[in-house]
Structure formats: structure tokens, C-alpha cells
């Protein structure tokens, strides 16, 4: 039976092996003190990489952050954030 | 009992013969776009299905793009599949054909070679399949209807052992609409050569072992995957020679070494090179001219992809002149087969190689035309010569 040298199929979950953060031009920076923990960034993120950190800020709210390994910098989270806690800043290296 | 019955031969139209052998090869799914430029092959298969003579799923598609996509999907589940098309239909399939090869699915299709529009023309030449030579498919060309039938059996064997798709090419009309005596092997005999298809476990769609096919490959992986496809298609030459020998043992017939066939080349001063149904006319002409003392031979190419580089230069090195007869043309270059023959012979033979274009859009290729080619093969003034009369 034919054995392939290079794998051309993928099992569930293996998409995360491809870190796509390098495609980004701008990265979102979250101001943890301003964040109200409303979950809007998580809802609109096309990549599902905005998440509740589980940590609390000085106002006792659980704040959000994002996973830069996969964030492509689309800016939807910054656009939709009701309290402007997210700023898009240049990720030029 | 007549001789025909003893030989188990039947007088069948080419398309019907292909339908009969496909039925006996027992694909699980047959998909086809049923309207022009379709042939009787899938019409006969759909009739076999409706008459209860075949078990496959027959899916009428809304286009050739869909038909190719359906066999891609079906093959991904690990079953034997089949479709047929040609000309504009084949061109409409192109994107999917590259995917089938890249996904290493053992799909077999019949291309009943026809001209490509415009102008609109439904007749025979080889422009369709040769246009997609780089898709990653094995391409086999048949001279007769019996050879077409045999190549289908071989095609599934090669496809399933190499996990590569195979296109069997037969001359549109010249073979598809011609009645010849052919033997259609029974399923029981076929199984001695071609066992039931067992797909590689970890490369099919299976709900118990979920996996994605045709996935993403970033620049760090794409090139190696393409190189593996290239290497495997090139290495298929060995498998074709091996399986051709095996085929001869089981079925008692076969052609050349499976890749090429020589016809009276041993002492030939002029060797013509061609592939497909036109080879019959060339052989006839060679016999006639040899009776008049002209030493002419034919090198028939059966496998165009992989291209059988080994051996071609050795055979052609004995000739004083080589004429490559193409029923296709790479516009702005020369005959498609001629380019590959020149590449395979580069630096290896001294004889000039000339490209002749014949039979485009169903123009009959006569013995007189082949005679003309023999007379003009020494003329080194023009690189590409169209022989229309």
C-alpha cells in the first residue's frame, strides 16, 4: 500500500500548528483597566482568539486579551469594543 | 460455435465497449454531465444502472466541473469512481483535476479526445488532454478499442497502487463511434489482476477517524509535496512496465512494454512518432511503403505522462530522420508530443526531429498524408509543418 513521505491530510485540531500571526500588520493592544469584560471582542473575532483571561482588574472585572500567535490583525475587536479599550498599533518588525 | 464466440469477442461500438468494461470494473460511483460533449459511454452506463445490471451510484451532474467534483468527493471516501468527458468538458474540469492529483485520489476518467473551441468543433484531435498534461495525472493513449478496454483495467491497477489519477485517452469518433471486435474480460478474471480497492487507512474521509483532505500547505511544506507528486509520477514508469507484464500473464495480450510500442523500427531509416488512434493508419502506410522498399518504422507512445524518456533516444538514434506526428499544437511553439520527444532526445541523437501537425478538428488523416510526411521529413527548412491534405 502506498505510503506518502509528506502528510497531505490533517486530523482535527492540527490547524493550530500553522501560526498565522505573522500575516498581521497591526496588532490589538487591550487596556485591561478600561476593559469591562463584555465579551464583544470574543463574539466578533473571526479567528476566535479573544478570550477572558480569568484575571481581575482594579475594578474587579475579568479582563480580556488575545492570542497573538493566531491574531491576523483585522481590527474588528477594536472597532466593536464599546469602551474603546482596544487600540490597533503597528506590528512592524 | 463461431470463432468470435470461442474468442469471447463481441462486435461493439468503442463507447459501448468502454461502458461494458467499466461496469465489470465495478466502480461504486459514476458521475457525469450528460449533454454535449458527452459520449455514449455514460449514456450506456446509466442504462445499465436503470436496467439493474450495475450496482454503482449514477449521479447526473449539472456540469463537468460538478461531475469531477463528485468523483473527487466519492474517491475521498475510499471507493472506486469513474467519469468520462472531453474537449470543453475536460477544460471545465481543470481546476478539479489538479485537486484530484494533488490530493492523490485514484480517480480514473476516460477522455474521448476531441478538438477545443473556438471555432466550435466536436470532432477528434488531442488538444484537450494535452492541454492539461501538467495536472499531475497519468495519461495513457489507446490505438484501438481493444487497447482502450485493456488500458482501463490497467488504469485502475496503476491508480490504486500508486494513489495517482489516470486518464485513459481514446480517439473521439475514430474509436468511440467505431465498431470493432473486442473482448471484454469478466469481473472474475479482472479480479485476478485487480483486487477490490482497499484505500490507505489514514487518507480517506471516515466519521470514526475524522480528518481533512486537500488541506492548506504553507510555503514551508508545499514544495516538498509537489516534488513528491513529481517523483511519484516519474516513478510510475516502472510500475507501468511491471503491471503490463502482469497484465499479459493474466489476459494473454498487451502492447510493447506498456509505455511505448515499436513497429518495424529495427532497421528503419525514418521513424515516425505518434500516439492514439492515428497509429493504425501510420502502420498501414508503413506496410505499403515497406513493400516499395522504404525502411520506415513507428514509435507509438502509449504513456504520455509519465513520459517514457528511457528507451526513446535509443530507438530513435538508429534513424536518419524522425518525424513526430501530433494531433495537437502548442500555439506559438510546435506539436505537444514533438517538444517532449526533442527533450527526451536532446544531446542523445543526431537525426533531425521534425514536428508535423495533422487531423485537427476531425480532419481525416489518410495514408496519402502519412506518405507526404515521409517525403517531407528530411526537409529541414521549416520547423513545424501542417499536413492538411
The CATH number given to whatever domain includes residue B355 is 3.40.50.920
pLDDT classification of B383: cutoffs 50, 70, 90: confident
Which residue ranges make up each domain of chain A?
31-90
What is the interface pTM, i.e. ipTM, of the complex?
0.79
pLDDT digits (tens, 9 = 90+) for B31-88: 999 999 999 999 999 999 999 999 999 999 999 999 999 999 999 999 999 999 999 9
B50, B57, B47: which is closest to B20 by C-alpha?
B47
A91, A44, A87, A83: which is closest to A61 by C-alpha?
A83
Shared-domain flag, residues B178 and B295: no
User: What pLDDT shows up at residue B33?
Assistant: 96
pTM for the structure as a whole:
0.91
Integer CA distances (angstroms), B203 to B28, B117, B154, B209, B234, in order: 18, 38, 23, 10, 22
List of residues 6+ apart from B346 with CB closer than 8 A: none
B221, B251, B281: which is the final residue of a domain? B251
Shared-domain flag, residues B138 and B271: no
| B209-219 average pLDDT score | 91
State how far residue B186 is from chain A, nearest Cα, in angstroms: 25
Shared-domain flag, residues B235 and B328: no
Residues of A in contact with B104 (CB under 8 A): 2, 4, 8
pLDDT digits (tens, 9 = 90+) for A20-55: 898 899 999 999 999 999 999 999 999 999 999 999
Shared-domain flag, residues B222 and B122: yes
Find the chain B residues whose C-beta atoms sit closer than 8 A to any C-beta of A.
Answer: 102-104, 161-163, 198, 200, 202-203, 210-218, 221, 224-225, 228
Q: Is the pLDDT of residue B385 over 60?
A: yes
Shared-domain flag, residues B372 and B324: yes
Shared-domain flag, residues B37 and B183: yes
The residue range of the domain holding B340 is: 260-386
User: What pLDDT shows up at residue A92?
Assistant: 84
List of residues 6+ apart from B50 with CB closer than 8 A: none
Q: Is the pLDDT of residue A65 over 90?
A: yes
Share of chain B above pLDDT 90, in %: 93
Shared-domain flag, residues B12 and B116: yes
B187, B220, B251: which is the final residue of a domain? B251
The number of domains in chain B is 2
User: What pLDDT shows up at residue B6?
Assistant: 55
Integer CA distances (angstroms), B284 to B209, B233, B291, in order: 57, 33, 11
Residues of A in contact with B215 (CB under 8 A): 8-10
What is the rounded CA–CA span in Å between residue B186 and residue B24?
Answer: 6
Residues of A in contact with B77 (CB under 8 A): none
pLDDT digits (tens, 9 = 90+) for B277-311: 999 999 999 999 999 999 999 999 999 999 999 88
Q: Is the pLDDT of residue B5 over 90?
A: no
User: What pLDDT shows up at residue B380?
Assistant: 79
Which CATH number fits the domain A31-90, given the four candidates 3.40.47.10, 3.30.70.3270, 3.20.10.10, 1.10.3720.10? 3.30.70.3270
Shared-domain flag, residues B360 and B247: no
Shared-domain flag, residues B120 and B230: yes
Q: Is the pLDDT of residue B371 over 80?
A: yes
Q: Is the pLDDT of residue B202 over 90?
A: no
User: What pLDDT shows up at residue B340?
Assistant: 97
B251, B279, B299: which is the final residue of a domain? B251
pLDDT classification of B368: cutoffs 50, 70, 90: very high
CATH code, domain carrying B94: 3.40.50.970
Shared-domain flag, residues B86 and B217: yes
Q: How many C-beta atoms lie closer than 10 Å to residue B340's C-beta?
A: 21
pLDDT classification of A14: cutoffs 50, 70, 90: confident
Shared-domain flag, residues B148 and B276: no
Residue in B closest to A13 by C-alpha: B211
Amino acid at each position: 500500500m502506498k505510503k506518502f513521505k509528506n502528510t497531505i491530510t490533517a486530523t482535527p485540531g492540527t490547524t493550530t500548528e500553522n501560526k498565522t500571526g505573522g500575516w498581521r500588520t497591526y496588532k490589538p493592544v487591550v487596556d485591561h483597566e478600561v476593559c469591562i469584560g463584555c465579551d464583544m471582542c470574543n463574539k466578533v473575532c473571526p479567528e476566535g482568539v479573544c478570550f477572558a483571561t480569568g484575571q481581575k482588574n482594579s475594578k474587579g472585572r475579568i479582563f480580556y486579551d488575545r492570542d497573538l500567535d493566531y491574531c491576523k490583525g483585522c481590527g474588528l475587536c477594536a472597532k466593536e469594543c464599546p469602551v474603546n479599550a482596544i487600540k490597533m498599533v503597528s506590528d512592524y518588525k | 460455435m463461431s470463432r468470435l464466440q470461442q474468442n469471447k469477442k463481441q462486435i461493439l461500438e468503442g463507447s459501448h465497449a468502454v461502458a461494458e468494461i467499466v461496469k465489470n470494473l465495478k466502480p461504486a460511483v459514476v458521475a457525469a454531465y450528460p449533454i454535449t460533449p458527452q459520449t455514449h459511454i455514460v449514456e450506456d452506463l446509466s442504462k445499465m444502472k436503470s436496467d439493474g445490471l450495475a450496482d454503482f451510484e449514477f449521479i447526473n451532474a449539472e456540469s463537468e466541473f460538478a461531475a469531477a467534483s463528485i468523483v473527487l468527493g466519492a474517491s475521498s471516501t475510499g471507493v472506486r469512481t469513474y467519469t468520462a468527458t472531453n474537449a470543453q468538458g475536460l477544460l471545465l474540469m481543470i481546476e478539479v483535476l489538479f485537486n484530484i492529483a494533488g490530493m492523490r485520489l485514484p480517480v480514473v476518467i476516460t477522455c474521448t479526445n476531441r478538438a477545443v473551441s473556438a471555432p466550435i468543433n466536436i470532432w477528434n484531435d488531442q488538444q484537450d488532454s494535452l492541454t492539461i498534461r501538467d495536472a499531475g495525472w497519468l495519461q495513457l493513449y489507446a490505438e484501438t478499442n481493444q487497447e482502450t478496454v485493456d488500458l482501463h483495467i490497467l488504469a485502475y491497477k496503476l491508480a490504486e497502487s500508486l494513489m495517482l489519477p489516470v486518464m485513459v485517452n481514446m480517439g473521439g469518433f475514430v474509436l468511440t463511434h467505431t465498431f470493432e471486435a473486442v473482448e471484454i474480460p469478466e469481473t472474475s478474471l479482472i479480479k485476478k489482476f485487480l483486487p477490490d480497492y482497499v484505500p490507505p487507512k489514514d487518507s480517506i474521509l471516515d466519521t470514526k477517524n475524522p480528518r481533512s483532505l486537500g488541506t492548506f500547505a504553507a510555503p514551508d511544506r508545499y514544495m516538498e509535496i509537489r516534488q513528491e507528486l513529481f517523483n511519484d509520477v516519474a516513478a510510475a514508469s516502472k510500475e507501468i512496465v511491471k503491471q503490463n507484464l502482469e497484465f499479459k500473464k493474466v489476459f494473454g495480450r498487451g502492447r510493447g512494454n506498456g509505455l511505448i510500442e515499436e513497429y518495424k523500427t529495427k532497421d528503419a531509416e525514418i521513424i515516425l512518432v505518434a500516439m492514439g488512434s492515428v497509429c493504425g493508419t501510420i502502420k498501414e502506410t508503413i506496410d505499403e511503403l515497406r513493400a516499395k522498399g522504404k525502411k520506415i518504422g513507428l514509435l507509438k507512445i502509449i504513456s504520455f505522462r509519465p513520459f517514457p524518456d528511457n528507451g526513446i533516444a535509443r530507438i530513435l538514434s538508429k534513424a536518419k530522420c524522425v518525424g513526430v506526428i501530433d494531433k495537437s499544437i502548442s500555439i506559438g511553439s510546435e506539436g505537444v508530443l514533438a517538444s517532449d520527444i526533442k527533450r527526451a532526445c536532446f544531446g542523445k541523437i543526431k537525426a533531425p526531429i521534425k514536428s508535423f501537425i495533422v487531423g485537427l478538428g476531425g480532419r481525416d488523416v489518410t495514408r496519402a498524408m502519412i506518405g507526404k510526411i515521409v517525403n517531407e521529413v528530411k526537409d529541414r527548412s521549416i520547423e513545424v509543418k501542417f499536413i492538411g491534405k
